[in-house]
Structure 1
Amino acid sequence: MVYNKQKLSACTSILVGKNATVDGSIMIARNEDYRAAWPKHFVVRPRKEFSTPQSFVSPDNGFSLKLPRVRGKYTAIPEWTDKYGFFEEAGINEYGVAMSATESAYANERVLGADPLVEKGIGEEAMITVVLPYVKSARQGVRRLGKIVEEHGASEANGVLFADKQEAWYLEIATGHYWAAQRIPDDCYAVVANQLSLQEIDFNAPEDFMTATNLEQFVIENKLNATPHSFNFREIFGTQGPNDEVYNTPRVWYGQKMFNPEIKQLPQSEKLPFIQKPAKLLHREDVEDLLGSHFQGTAYDPLGKNNQEKNHFRPISLAKTQESHILQLRPWLPPEISGLHWLALGVTAQSVFVPFYASLTETPTDYQRGTATFSWDSAYWRYKLLGVLVDPHYPLFGEKLATLQKNLRVELNHRVRESDHYALQMNADAGRLAYLTKISHENAALARNQVNQLIAELITAATDLSPLNFTTDENL
């Protein structure tokens, strides 16, 4: 089997600054899209202090890197098998740094001709593993990953999300050794969908931009910039074409339509801004709604009735989503309580975001299970089953699913408020961590039990929906 996630993955990301949210939290979030049946696990990687030097070797392409002796604790969402790489995808570490990797992107032939991708360079599958446990701020995360790309090369073009309790950053790797990163303004958000998205780079604003060494000189020497009076990263390094306008830009358009409905734009536009200031402050639920969206309220909704254009654009939530995560950092709370790793397994539109405190010491057992074939003991497969049951009968079952999602959102929101308050009364010691772990497991159990009840109800109802049914005269 040849495994190349770069060619197939198609995620959607959003980053939100602290002054763009109602409660002052910072959020980075992403749908991880690859295959309709490819389980994800959710784990905690414990802190480890090694007595001897450590190294990482990728089972995917042989990329190797020496690692520090101290590995910080972090949450992660790895694949069910590491045969083709680790793909830990997202997590929050013990220092309060969040990272999500990656948003697959594509560079144009001109820039790749000047600096080709490196076969044994770093790729998506390795990034969380070799970066997140070793950084104590979002800026450090950008610098560490950028240095790795410059010194060891990159095997793919990718976008990577970072955040801490003060700021969020988006880093884009365009070629084998060149990258750029921008801090998301505190009062703004950014939606990204499989394109290089950064626009004007200000090399005189180090507080807001970081880049590879000699990035500007590389572009000048190779005559890559068609507008020398500016430095538009997207236009220099990215792609703009019919594929983007069907597959990528409509998702960014819809996200900006949700949060800035007053701005009129076209879904095929190649000029959509990277940074937007929302018309009103955003709740976490707004981010959930974006990640679970499929062009509702437009002619492009695949679930819409009689929509002429419903299969014209690729939606944000689709069957190939493996999991969706929102990494929420709340600056007003102590480190143990601040970070919430919200996780929806399977298809976002058909799943439930369950809150886990990032400081938990272990995840529920069913979140650590699941292989390529369906099994009852896997959280991933439970949520996939829910979607499979709803799909053939959306007019009948869709509302039941929506009711479950609404009720669980209310209950889980309430539980987070209560557990935050209770945890604040406790001393910052092992007792607090044990409590937050317990609450996280109970949140998962609450969702599990209600999903199981709905699955049982849907299976029972579906028994009478067979095409072999026949209306019989009740007198016979």
Structure 2
Amino acid sequence: MLTHQFNPYSACTSILIGKNATADGSTMIGRNEDSRSAWAKKFVVHAHKEFDQPQTFTSQDVEHPFTMTLPTIRAKYTATPEWTPTYGLFEEDGINEYGVAMSATESAYCNSRVLAADPYVKDGIGEEAMVTVTLPYIHSAREGVQRLGQIIEAHGTYETNGILFSDAEEVWYMETGAGHYWVAERIPDDGYAVVANQLAIQEIDLSDHENYLFAKNIRDFVVDNDLATSANGFNFREAFGTRDLSDQHYNTPRVWDGQRYFNPEIDQDPESFDLPFIRRANRLIHIDEAQHYLASHYEGTPFDPVGGGSDADKHRYRPISLAKTQESHVLQIRPDMPVALSGIHWLAMGVTAESVYVPFYAGADTTPTAYQVATKAYDPTSAYWIFKHAGILVDAHYHDLHPQLQTVQKDLMIALGHHVITTDAQAKQTDAVDLTALLTAANDQAATLTLTKMTALIADLITTSTDFSPLNYQTDLNL
């Protein structure tokens, strides 16, 4: 994520995993939404709606007044909008009633040559609108790429972004370039990709429409503007992307860290410009491992900000999990299940490393009350603020209090994993008519369990912290 009105160096980290690369045959896409350290998010379900006439979307972002016509049928979908729509909706991530998942966006940058040839469009589409105008109107991941691509070609865009799509069969990563161009690559079924604020897609095979999609006339644009030579393909990252010092310290180390985790046998330089987009992990990937990557901060290396490295090393690279994360999600589409049951929207509010991924079934018809409360200032009834409260208490005395947080995180991971197994078993015995009610209740149970444990943790942290005052003094009890 990159919200233009905020810190321009706050942005996201993403992961995409094909169905044959996971332990259970799921497809998975996930991302940390990074913008501000105190900027609350909600979790909502938009109901299926059918209108008599086409609808009109108008952005509330006054700097970029994007507008477009929408279809008459809007599918049900989950989303995580901002606490305020003042700067735009920023719905960011969700799963729709057809079993399609979308996460938008991974902010990236184009080089000046590309932008000179096709400048950004001020009233074009941007991150804040992409989920809202795409996810409710698509029936597959491939269709999602095609719909958003058509919007970008017709209306233009005012920024460069990466967008993630998945369904039960396919995972796609799409990148926009300049004002009107885009490409997308299907993640191989046995592959994974991690992305960190750079244009990541490399060689595009323009003759392979099964695994690559792209804007019409992109070959002519590339050749006519001397961006690359093109017979039947070109390297999108090299033609459209950047290679500068900020990439080496802000972006590439996060890709290196992900590939180090899933392929520890491969030795690579964290500042390399040549890290590959697609990798095959040395093992099948479980859901908790995808979540672990998004919560990582270079543990086990000198670059961990809370580790034992030198001061220079601890601040050398931007970590994956950091204070500016608003929410993190992994959208899991599981195989061989009814659509309502197959999609799980794993959601961790606040700083990923200090939060808990709660499993929410996308087939529910509403979200737990605490996840619908999002305010600018602290509110103890808000799920976002409960997780943030625990995190800042730990941060104040990190090495003393972090073990207490870790214990609760582990206990909840076990309990929530068991909760999914139990709910799945119950769902197999439930009529389709009652399935929505079962899943809605299951989501409430998961939220209640998690927030009760986090609230108890907060009480323990406060109690323990009372003895860490700088005004403390070892008093001789005999005096």
TM-score (norm 2): 0.97
Bigger drift between 363-372 and 187-196 goes to: 363-372
The equivalent of 1:51 in structure 2 is 52
**Deviations 1:38-67 (CA, angstroms, capped at 9, x unpaired):** 000000011111112210011111100000
- Aligned-pair CA distance for 1:307: 3.3
Q: Distance in 1 between matches of 2:315 and 2:7?
A: 24
Q: Is the contact made by 2:21 and 2:281 (CA closer than 8 Å) also made in structure 1? A: yes
Aligned to 1:469: 472
1:187 is matched with 190
Opposite residue 452 of structure 2, the aligned amino acid is: N
1:6 positional shift: 8.7
Q: Counterpart of 1:252?
A: 255
Q: How does 1:385-400 map to 2 (within 5 A)?
A: 385-400=389-404
Q: 1:146 aligns with which of 131, 144, 149?
A: 149
Residue in structure 1 matched with residue 411 of structure 2 by the alignment: 407
Q: 1:226 touches 1:236 (CA, 8 Å); kept in 2?
A: no
1:328 and 2:332 matched:
yes
Q: CA deviation at 1:174?
A: 1.1
Q: CA deviation at 1:227?
A: 8.2
Q: 2:218 aligns with which of 215, 219, 234?
A: 215
Counterpart of 2:274? Answer: 271
Deviations 1:402-445 (A, max 9, x none): 1111110000001101100110111111x111011000110010
Partners of 1:59 and 1:376 in 2: CA distance: 28
Identify unmatched segments of 5+ residues in structure 1.
none
Q: Given the alignment of the two structures, is residue 27 of structure 1 paired with residue 28 of structure 2, yes or no?
A: yes
Deviates more, 1:414-423 or 1:302-311: 302-311
1:240-389 correspondence to structure 2 within 5 Å: 240-308=243-311, 309-389=313-393
Per mean C-alpha deviation after superposition, the further-off stretch among 218-227 and 152-161 is 218-227
- Aligned length in residues: 474
Instruction: Between 15-24 and 420-429, report the one with greater CA deviation.
Output: 420-429
Match of 1:93 among 96, 100, 114: 96
SS at match of 2:423: helix
Structure 1 residue 165 corresponds to structure 2 residue 168:
yes
**Which residue in 1 is equivalent to 2:12?**
11
Deviation at 1:332, TM superposition (A): 1.6
The 8 Å contact of residues 348 and 357 in structure 2, kept in 1 or not, is answered as yes
Residue 304 of structure 1: how far off its partner (Å): 0.3
Letter in 2 for 1:341: H
Deviations 1:319-375 (A, max 9, x none): 000000000000121111100000000000000000000011110111111211111
Q: Is the 8 A contact 2:7 2:35 kept in 1?
A: no
Q: 1 CA distance for matches of 2:354 and 2:171?
A: 28
Q: Distance in 2 between matches of 1:6 and 1:177?
A: 25
Instruction: Indicate how the Cα distance of structure 1 residues 227 and 264 shifts in structure 2: closer, same or farther if over 3 A, else same.
Output: farther
Residue in structure 2 matching 1:129, options 122, 129, 132: 132
Given the superposition, is the C-alpha separation of residues 226 and 475 from structure 1 closer, same or farther in structure 2, using an over 3 Å criterion?
A: farther
Length-normalised TM-score, structure 1: 0.98
Partners of 1:306 and 1:49 lie apart in 2 by 57
Cα drift, residue 460 of structure 1 = 0.7
In 2, the alpha carbon distance for the partners of 1:234 and 1:379 equals 39
Distance 1:205 1:306, change over 3 A: closer
Tell me how far 1:8 sits from its aligned partner: 4.4
RMSD of aligned alpha carbons: 1.2
Query: How far, CA to CA, are the matches of 1:6 and 1:384 in structure 2?
Result: 20
Distance in structure 1 (CA, Å) of the matches to 2:231 and 2:194: 27
Q: C-alpha offsets along residues 149-185 of structure 1, whole Å, 9 cap, x if unaligned?
A: 0000011100000000101000000110000000000
Contact 2:207/2:232, CA 8 A, preserved across alignment:
no
Runs of 4+ in structure 1 off by over 4 angstroms are 226-230
State the SS of the aligned residue for 2:133. helix
